[in-house]
Amino acid sequence: MAGLLEGIRILDVTRFVAGPAATVLFADLGADVIRIEAPGGAEDRTTLPFKEGFHGGVGFTQLGRNKRGITIDLSCEKGRAVFDRLLTTADVVFANLPPRTAATLGLEYERLKAIKPDIIFVLMTTFGSTGPYANRLGFDAIAQVMSGLAHISGEPGKPMKQNSAWVDMSTGFLAAFGALAALRHRDLTGEGQQVETNLLQTAMTVGNYFLLDQHFNDTCRAGTGNRAQSGGPADLIQTKDGWVYMVALGDAMFRRFMRMIGREELLADPRFANDELRAENGEALSEAATAWARQYTTAEIMDILEANRIPAGPLLTPQQALDDPHVRDQFLVEVPVDGLSRPVPYVKPPVTFSKTPGAIHRGPPRPGQDNDAVLGAAGYSPDEIAELRAQGVI
């Protein structure tokens, strides 16, 4: 079956997480995504390496799947000439670099547009392309702490960022959304354009409601550990043999929860009259929930919570998440990857389609794996490719 985006070509000049997270969505849906890195391989290949000595780390393996890979030295004139020839065949260029750095590599919309007038250029940065921070470097954690969200996570006086790269991934997803919208615009008008996303704006978009809360209510919120900032009980509660996160939001759910744990008297307690008060006094509610939950195993608790229609989930280790029957059967697909001793348990493409599903066919490319095929299709002869290789251009 042809992929939904078959016929779209992406030149992927991205690294680490946000950019590759955007382009892999295109690759999963059949677009020809060509990852371009420096000769020898980019620095993001070494992050979280496999013990087996694979040619890329786990993050690269996750986000490099389904892509072809070529190497070009974009810092030299001959390398940019190779890129420019490929540009004439492309629909979208992705880059996640500060504007100044992107410009030194020839990755500027005005320059690209002069070569391919209808090109779509997706620029992903940390702080945006204008303003005093535009050329600063940054990663996911920088946006987390500058957005205000790390301040209200963790404990009071001990702010905590999230270890998962949620800002990077979300920025990538938004970049893919933007590129698709720009492709739609090009279909209607024939015009290309520049599309931008940045990490800090993504993080602040996710937490905008907390910013509104501060602006209008002057709440000066601090961290509440695992407890929710609104409503309760809403916490990671210890059971006889593990932990379960359970959440009661709104009056009806709160009433069900209190009856479930045999603490109906708390329904009349003025400390718990509404969601905001229940969050403010959440420690007391967590203590009551823990006293009840410690009588039961996690499995027993999950059955009781489900019977009472209380949202809940057990705390799982990464291995337990992989072994969970629902996760294993619904969300994972094992893909053999050359160079690894076991199939990779990829999480399936995160958007499903009833008629044109995405698929993961292969793992990430080795450095320059597709140089000959891609450059040959662009018109380079075998001798020209060999000369570029000898000169260190590819």
Nearest to 61 by CA among 33, 30, 24, 9: 24
**Per-residue pLDDT at 1:** 62
**Per-residue pLDDT at 2:** 74
Give the CA distances from residue 392 to residues 36, 73, 76, 102, 323, in Å, rounded to whole numbers and listed in that order. 14, 8, 10, 21, 45
| Helix, strand, coil percentages, rounded to 5, for the chain | 45, 15, 45
The answer to whether the Cα torsion of 138, 144, 145, 146 is positive or negative is: positive
Report helix, strand or coil for 323: helix
Nearest to 342 by CA among 3, 52, 136, 142: 52
- Residue 12 region by backbone torsions, left for phi larger than 0, else alpha for psi between -120 and 50, else beta: beta
**Per-residue pLDDT at 262:** 98
Residues contacting 252, CB < 8 A, separation 6+: none
State the average pLDDT for the chain. 97
Supply 267's token pair: 């329904």
Per-residue pLDDT of the chain (394 residues; tens, 9 = 90+): 679 999 999 999 999 999 999 999 999 999 999 999 999 999 999 999 999 999 999 999 999 999 999 999 999 999 999 999 999 999 999 999 999 999 999 999 999 999 999 999 999 999 999 999 999 999 999 999 999 999 999 999 999 999 999 999 999 999 999 999 999 999 999 999 999 999 999 999 999 999 999 999 999 999 999 999 999 999 999 999 999 999 999 999 999 999 999 999 999 999 999 999 999 999 999 999 999 999 999 999 999 999 999 999 999 999 999 999 999 999 999 999 999 999 999 999 999 999 999 999 999 999 999 999 999 999 999 999 999 999 999 9
**Per-residue pLDDT at 23:** 98
**Per-residue pLDDT at 13:** 98
Nearest to 360 by CA among 386, 336, 380: 336
Residues contacting 227, CB < 8 A, separation 6+: 234, 235, 279, 282, 283, 286
* Local structure of residue 69 (DSSP, 8 states): E
Q: Which domains does the chain have, with CATH numbers?
A: 9-206+325-390 (3.40.50.10540), 234-315 (3.30.1540.10)
Supply 144's token pair: 């987390």
Nearest to 11 by CA among 80, 59, 62, 76: 80
